[in-house]
Amino acid sequence: MIATYLPYIQVILAVLLIGLILLQHSDASAGAAFGGDSLGGGGHTRRGPEKFIFILTIIVAILFALSAFAAFFIK
């Protein structure tokens, strides 16, 4: 029964995961992409909506991984 709905669940989770990842803030610049680092920049603390999106991304990623394992073992 769940095997019929599992592909749809995985597609929905994948789209949510992509959207949540794209919503996250990134401090990476071109210099950081080539090995440079902003040593004087200090740390970044997630607060408010940014922290909620970060935690939600982790939860959706775990659910996606669990659904992939479930699909592997069901078939």
Q: Decide: 17 and 60 in contact? Cβ < 8 Å.
A: yes
pLDDT at 31: 56
Is 50 inside a domain boundary?
Answer: yes
By residue range, what is the domain housing residue 11? 2-25+45-74
Is 57 inside a domain boundary?
Answer: yes
Is 30 inside a domain boundary?
Answer: no
Q: pLDDT-derived band of residue 37, with 50, 70 and 90 as boundaries? A: low
18: pLDDT strictly greater than 70 = yes
Is 33 inside a domain boundary?
Answer: no
Q: How many CB atoms lie within 10 A of CB 70?
A: 15
42: pLDDT strictly greater than 80 = no
> Can you give the length of the chain in residues?
75
